[in-house]
């Protein structure tokens, strides 16, 4: 079963789904798509299962040739994707025939692009996930390399391909370019260990994303913060804001270590981690305090939209659920 032969993988391309759940106690990072919003929309466009594996393409530069008929969706950072030189709709669906060549350039803004295929990429599965965590070096779960062939199922006979090709995610549900520069953060368990001046400094300052940032965590350059005490190593999650000895905050992401021993100032909710993951090194961000209820409500509305909306025959999205929730 062959589907797509990669000619150029770009700076880094990995296969990601929702990640490994329930294995941190064995020292395995969850991994998973860093931009949950773009990942879920890519699968929703194709009526895939919510956990279907996608390609996460970092900073574009990707090129591949189809070995069989394919129905695909693309979301996330806009890399001006084109098939045989003809642009394809961003946050939409396109088809490829055997021999067609897909090309992605460098995105104008953003960092991560998601490429989904009908049925999901059928790469190796380990611990109920196909996600790649590069530093773990698991056999068959490494980054996508030049020349590799990615497996996928063919579209089922009789599929209304033309109907799918009309689907495009409404603009209101896509992140705006240059937006999301102030991220929500929930106060953490060690907040009282920081002086009130440092707490205010964290919220009222702008931080620059450091060059060493990656899927494991984003290092922030800006005003240093001082903690009055140490902590015992404990489990960490996606979005944990740790403050190491140099006082420079770092936000842990999908490929993080499973435990950490630095004071925890706060935690970014999952959708704000997605916003952060699209920021490039050198960009600046800020933070504002939020609470669990507000962040949970945003995530619940997001899940409600994807779980209850359906695509009409004309390619528009039927999301009448919002009338029930919002009046």
**Do 107 and 140 share a domain, yes or no?**
yes
**Do 111 and 221 share a domain, yes or no?**
no
Sign, CA torsion 302/306/308/311:
positive
**Do 93 and 55 share a domain, yes or no?**
yes
CATH of the domain at 241: 2.40.100.10
Token readout for 235 is 């489990």
Confidence category of residue 327, pLDDT binned at 50, 70, 90 = very low
pLDDT at 49: 96
Token readout for 218 is 């984003």
**Do 14 and 32 share a domain, yes or no?**
yes
Token readout for 234 is 């404990």
Confidence category of residue 228, pLDDT binned at 50, 70, 90 = confident
Q: What does the alpha-carbon distance between residue 321 and residue 327 come to, in Å, rounded to a whole number?
A: 10
- Count of structural domains within the chain: 3
Whether the predicted pLDDT of 205 surpasses 70: yes
pLDDT at 325: 47
**Do 42 and 153 share a domain, yes or no?**
yes
Predicted structure pTM score: 0.95
Boundary (domain end) residue, out of 144, 173, 202: 173
Whether the predicted pLDDT of 178 surpasses 50: yes
**Do 132 and 197 share a domain, yes or no?**
no
pLDDT at 157: 83
pLDDT at 326: 46
**Do 229 and 154 share a domain, yes or no?**
no
What's the distance, Cα to Cα, between the start and end of the chain in Å?
Answer: 48
Is residue 205 classed exposed, middle or buried when 0-12, 13-18 and 19+ CB atoms within 10 A define those classes? middle
**Do 40 and 14 share a domain, yes or no?**
yes
Boundary (domain end) residue, out of 114, 139, 173: 173
**Are the beta carbons of 123 and 53 closer than 8 angstroms?**
yes
**Do 169 and 224 share a domain, yes or no?**
no
Whether the predicted pLDDT of 323 surpasses 70: no
CA atoms within 13 A on the CB side of 325: 12
**Do 16 and 121 share a domain, yes or no?**
yes
Least confident interval from 74-88, 113-127, 155-169, 250-264: 155-169
Q: Between residues 53 and 180, which one has the greater pLDDT?
A: 53
What average pLDDT score do residues 260-276 get?
A: 96
**Do 53 and 84 share a domain, yes or no?**
yes
**Do 85 and 187 share a domain, yes or no?**
no
Residue 260, number of CB atoms within 10 A of its CB = 20
Q: Give 246-255 pLDDT, tens digit per residue.
A: 999 999 999 9
DSSP assignment, residue 168?
Answer: B
Residue 289, number of CB atoms within 10 A of its CB = 14
Token readout for 317 is 């999205």
What is the overall mean pLDDT for the chain?
94
Range of the domain at 191: 182-290
| Cβ within 8 Å of residue 154, ≥6 positions away | 3, 68, 69
pLDDT at 119: 95
């Amino acid at each position: 079963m062959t589907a797509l032969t990669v000619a150029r993988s770009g700076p880094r391309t990995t296969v990601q789904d929702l990640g490994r759940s329930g294995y941190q106690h064995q020292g395995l990072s969850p991994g998973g798509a860093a931009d949950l919003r773009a990942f879920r929309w890519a699968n929703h466009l194709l009526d895939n299962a919510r956990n279907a594996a996608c390609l996460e393409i970092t900073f574009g530069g990707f090129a591949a040739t189809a070995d069989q008929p394919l129905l695909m969706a693309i979301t996330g950072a806009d890399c001006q994707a084109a098939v045989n030189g003809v642009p394809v709709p961003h946050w939409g669906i396109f088809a490829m025939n055997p021999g067609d060549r897909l090309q992605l350039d460098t995105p104008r803004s953003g960092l991560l692009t998601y490429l989904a295929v009908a049925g999901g990429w059928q790469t190796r599965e380990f611990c109920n996930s196909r996600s790649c965590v590069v530093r773990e070096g698991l056999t068959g779960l490494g980054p996508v390399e030049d020349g590799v062939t990615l497996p996928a199922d063919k579209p089922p006979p009789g599929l209304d391909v033309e109907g799918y090709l009309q689907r495009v995610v409404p603009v209101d549900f896509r992140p705006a370019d240059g937006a999301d520069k102030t991220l929500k953060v929930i106060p953490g368990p060690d907040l009282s260990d920081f002086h009130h001046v440092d707490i205010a400094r964290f919220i009222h300052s702008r931080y620059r994303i450091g060059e060493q940032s990656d899927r494991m965590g984003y290092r922030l350059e800006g005003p240093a913060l001082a903690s009055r005490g140490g902590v015992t190593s404990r489990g960490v999650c996606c979005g944990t804001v740790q403050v190491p000895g140099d006082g420079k905050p770092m936000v842990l992401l999908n490929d993080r270590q499973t435990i950490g021993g630095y004071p925890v100032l706060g935690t970014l909710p999952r959708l704000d981690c997605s916003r952060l993951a699209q920021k490039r090194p050198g960009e600046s961000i800020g933070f504002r305090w939020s609470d669990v209820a507000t962040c949970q409500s945003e995530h619940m509305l997001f899940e409600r939209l994807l779980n209850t909306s359906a695509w009409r025959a004309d390619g528009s999205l039927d999301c009448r659920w919002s009338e029930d929730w919002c009046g």
